[in-house]
Chain A
């Protein structure tokens, strides 16, 4: 059989994607190897992140040269990452479903392209813009209005009780992430909803169903996989979001959030904010440990995708418009 050159070319190009993923994984593992050996399991469960004294001579610990007092634990950042993403999706999923349902069924057909374009435009706004907006508008709003209101309404639940604090923290970061994930989830679910066959909808109407019943009982169940896929897409964005979170999270170090108003730090934001200082560590252990954070973040992201594939029945099919 003769193999055409174009075929070889396409195979080569297509294999770039898995090769890149593998290369990133291998690079991160190799690069963070000294840190993996030095930190051990403590890395995942330790609450204290301390670069050590970079201005005194390094000491030898178990045969490795590290700054005096160096201690790398990232539990605080793992919790911050998962908590912000989880709360963000909790807020954005119901809103996104309602918006997608409205766009698919509640809007006259001639307005649909324009409105769905607006949603897609929102998805393409650079995250730093959301961050800046969160920084300038959302932080004072949370500190002065939303936080006190939430504390007085739901204050009997320990996680929601005051003091409300400065506006920097878990609540604001989650809100920013929620706003960032709404357009992604909305447009993915919407593109599934509009492809539900007209015959099925008409048949349901013929049975006497109201418009809402058609959407809720027929259309939504048929796009279940789209919804799961959309959530995973949103989660992917929320987990890895860096700048917007960095600007509103309050940069907590060494303690876990006590309430929803506590300052937090996420893994991605922490890598950016610490790289500058880590570069000054003459032993290089600080940079290796930051690479280990990146490795953990990558593994969480891959894990999320595997779970998503399992939930969508192994297809992992996400519909786009």
Chain B
């Protein structure tokens, strides 16, 4: 034992020494002039926005070597909390902050960077290639346990031409606090009064007890859970479309406020966004769920950067203004080159202008 420990001690000493040598070498090699005036920004939050930030940041920092941006996918709630506490400069969130939160934190702004959508996916052998028709009340019935089998009369009524199996539905929901849960439960709340009264909406909701229903962690967990469980149904952010396709899941056609059934496509998402453009207030906290209009896809949302008006130094504030203005620019971060990759759509010009007015307030 003794021999062993002295051996360990000499090994760890050698390891420590090599780390110190490496550190010194690294410090020496870094350009001192550049390190002195480099600004570091921390972005954290929404896992839905995370893929987009990872597309943006390498390109942006290559063109702007004076700024370093660290990205983290931690969940919208963490994004909001860390932006409020000042740990992170940019908190990414799929959900806007509540009135009460705004009252407590008057310096915090909710700035849309792009528009996202959510798909309802299912795994029914033989039916994953056709688009099942679903609506808010049926989804509310499934997630509250009132509708238990795929051949329930209410699902049949929407899909008369399909042969639905008599199999138990496995509803999958998120266990972590999630902007996806927020917008999905808003769709149920806005379309189904009974859901609104009993459960309501939020980033975590008190899911009704459905025997056999399962919880999954993050969007990747939702894809995995619905892939491995036949006859399951799940709500998944559109930026995971590639994983959804490779998992072979079906995508539902959803009923919108006008009573039409629509697929999530750039056209229907844009149509829904345009319906609500004029309603967007100057602080840009607005739900885009269940928009009116014949072509509108019902589950879309602004993807927010939660930022404080007051930053630690003028240099940090300047770097943030520059980066965020680039992010909402149609020639910069809002170009099709980036957004098509995650199936987001760019901000319409009037909303982009509102975001710009908020961004320039960062001091």
Which residues of A are in contact with B by a Cβ distance under 8 Å? 48-51, 53-58, 69, 71, 135, 139-140, 143, 163, 165-168, 246-247, 249-255, 258, 262-263, 265, 273-280, 282-283
B225 touches A58 (CB 8 A): no
Q: Could you tell me if B215 and A250 are in contact, using CB atoms closer than 8 angstroms?
A: yes
Contacts of A49 on B, CB cut-off 8 Å?
206
Q: Interface residues of B toward A: which range?
A: 35 or more
Q: Are B175 and A168 in contact (CB under 8 A)?
A: no
Taking a contact as CB atoms under 8 Å apart, the answer to whether A143 and B228 are in contact is: yes
The closest CB in chain A to the CB of B77 belongs to: A276
Whether B176 contacts A276 by the Cβ 8 Å rule is yes
Q: Mark B200-226, 1 if CB is under 8 A from A, else 0.
A: 111111111101111111000000110
Do B217 and A247 touch (CB < 8 A)?
Answer: yes
CB–CB B200/A53 < 8 A:
yes
Contact B202 A57 (CB under 8 A): no
A-B pairs, 4 with minimum CB distance: A251-B215, A277-B177, A276-B177, A276-B77
Do the beta carbons of A258 and B211 come within 8 Å of each other? yes
In the assembly, what is the distance between CA of A275 and CA of B81, in Å? 11
A167 / chain B contacts, CB cutoff of 8 Å: 228-229
Q: B204 and A277: CB pair below 8 A?
A: yes
Cα(A224)–Cα(B1), bound, Å = 26
Complex Cα spacing A11 to B201, Å? 54
A-B contact number at CB 8 A: 125
Query: B10 on the interface (CB 8 Å rule)?
Result: no
**Across the interface, do A273 and B176 meet the contact criterion of CB distance under 8 Å?**
yes
Asked if B37 lies at the interface with its beta carbon under 8 angstroms from chain A, I say no
Determine if B40 is an interface residue (Cβ-Cβ < 8 Å).
no
Hey, which chain B residues are within 8 Å of A57, CB to CB? 99-100
- Interface contact B206-A253, CB-CB below 8 Å: yes
Chosen A-B contacts, 12 in total, with CB atoms closer than 8 Å, are A53-B202, A54-B203, A55-B99, A166-B225, A247-B217, A251-B173, A263-B215, A273-B176, A274-B177, A274-B204, A276-B177, A276-B204
When distances are taken between beta carbons in the complex, the residues of chain A under 8 Å from B225 are: 166, 168
Query: Which residues of chain A are within 8 angstroms of B170 by Cβ–Cβ distance?
Result: 165-166
CB distance from A58 to the nearest CB of B (A): 6
* Given known A-B contacts A50-B206, A254-B207, A273-B176, A279 and B216 have beta carbons under 8 A apart: no
- Please indicate the chain A residues that have their CB under 8 angstroms from the CB of B78 in the complex: 276, 279
Q: Does B241 belong to the interface (CB within 8 Å)?
A: no
CB A73 to nearest CB in B, in angstroms, measures 10
In the complex, are the beta carbons of B104 and A246 less than 8 A apart?
A: no
| Complex-state Cα separation, A58 to B104, whole angstroms | 13
Choose among B74, B202, B208, B224 the residue that contacts A277 (Cβ–Cβ < 8 A): B202
Those of B79-129 within 8 Å (CB) of chain A: 80-81, 97-101, 103-104
Query: Closest Cβ of chain B: how far from A106's Cβ, in Å?
Result: 24
Of B80, B200, B211, B215, which one neighbours A255 at CB under 8 angstroms? B211
Is B309 in the interface zone, CB < 8 Å from A?
A: no
Pairwise interchain contact B81-A279, C-beta atoms closer than 8 A? yes
B288 to chain A, nearest CB (A): 15
List 15 additional contacts besides A250-B215, A251-B175, A253-B215; criterion CB under 8 Å.
A55-B201, A166-B170, A166-B214, A166-B225, A167-B229, A168-B215, A168-B225, A251-B173, A254-B207, A263-B214, A273-B175, A273-B176, A274-B177, A276-B76, A277-B203
Complex Cα gap A250–B221 (Å):
11
Taking a contact as CB atoms closer than 8 A, the residue among A53, A255, A277, A278 that contacts B209 in the complex is A255
